[in-house]
């Protein structure tokens, strides 16, 4: 369950403006389904990326990025990166970044209750920052079946590999939030020791883009 809650409404306004100013396309993720008629975990979400759409299904890829601590940051989102650095210092998050994703939930859309129980997610702490002007019943966010009261500027963290989480936009307006990860240093060090991956390790990659069961660096061009 989450360990941090704080509120930063002025930052929410600044980050919202960067989203509005960006005319780029939104990536359409496809979540895990267990039946061909099911809705995937995040099928109704749309995404943009602060440090590219890294393929988290390929653990060596994510670990190599963390070890090198070198990322291709999106130049359209300097305020997002500045905010994440402020939150790093505020919460003493000493590990490198993992995934850094801007989410858009369109009108009356949702991310179904799920856990992200992949190897990468077992090594990180995830933070959520509510950006758009949604309050109270406008949005439902539940972590471990506990509702979190939503207001612009809300920040909280949780552990996506173990904590059941869902997001629902009950309005006719797009709901924007940022989800970003810091590696947990002890787990990062254990993974480095286990795999032997260093800054000089050459990671083999498949060509093109892809996710599950693919050894690509990115899941899309973004």
What is the band of 29 on the pLDDT scale with cuts at 50, 70, 90?
confident
Specify if 217 maps to a domain. Answer: no
Specify if 181 maps to a domain. Answer: yes
Read off the pLDDT of residues 38-53 as tens digits, 9 standing for 90 and up: 555 567 789 999 999 9
**221/167 Cα distance (integer angstroms):** 26
Specify if 222 maps to a domain. Answer: no
Residue 11's domain is classified under what CATH number? 2.60.120.10
Cβ atoms within 10 A of the Cβ of 189, count? 12
Specify if 72 maps to a domain. Answer: yes
Specify if 190 maps to a domain. Answer: yes
Specify if 214 maps to a domain. Answer: no
Do residues 96 and 70 touch, judged by C-beta distance below 8 A? Answer: no
Number of domains the chain contains:
1
Cβ atoms within 10 A of the Cβ of 136, count? 10
**pLDDT confidence of residue 3:** 79
Measure Cα distances from 74 to 45, 100, 119, 173 in Å. 20, 10, 25, 25
Q: Which pTM was predicted? A: 0.94
Specify if 155 maps to a domain. Answer: yes
Q: Which helix (H) or strand (E) holds 100?
A: strand 97-105
For 166, the domain range is 5-195
Specify if 221 maps to a domain. Answer: no
Residue 208 CB burial class (10 angstroms; 0-12, 13-18, ≥19)? exposed
């Amino acid at each position: 369950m989450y360990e941090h809650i704080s509120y930063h409404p002025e930052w929410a306004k600044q980050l919202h403006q960067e989203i509005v100013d960006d005319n780029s396309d939104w990536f359409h993720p496809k979540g895990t389904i267990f039946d061909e008629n099911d809705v995937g975990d995040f099928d109704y979400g749309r995404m943009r990326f602060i440090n590219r759409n890294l393929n988290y299904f390929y653990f060596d890829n994510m670990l190599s990025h963390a070890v090198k601590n070198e990322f291709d940051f999106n130049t359209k989102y300097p305020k997002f990166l500045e905010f994440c650095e402020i939150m790093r210092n505020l919460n003493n998050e000493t590990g490198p970044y993992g995934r850094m994703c801007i989410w858009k939930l369109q009108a009356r859309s949702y991310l179904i209750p799920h856990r992200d129980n992949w190897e990468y997610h077992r090594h990180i702490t995830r933070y959520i920052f509510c950006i758009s002007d949604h309050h109270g019943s406008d949005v439902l966010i539940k972590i471990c079946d506990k509702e979190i009261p939503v207001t612009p500027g809300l920040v909280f963290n949780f552990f996506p590999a173990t904590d059941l989480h869902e997001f629902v936009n009950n309005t006719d307006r797009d709901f924007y939030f940022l989800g970003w990860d810091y590696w947990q240093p002890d787990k990062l060090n254990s993974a480095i020791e286990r795999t032997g991956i260093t800054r000089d390790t050459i990671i083999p990659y498949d060509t093109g883009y892809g996710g599950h069961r693919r050894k690509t660096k990115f899941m899309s061009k973004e």
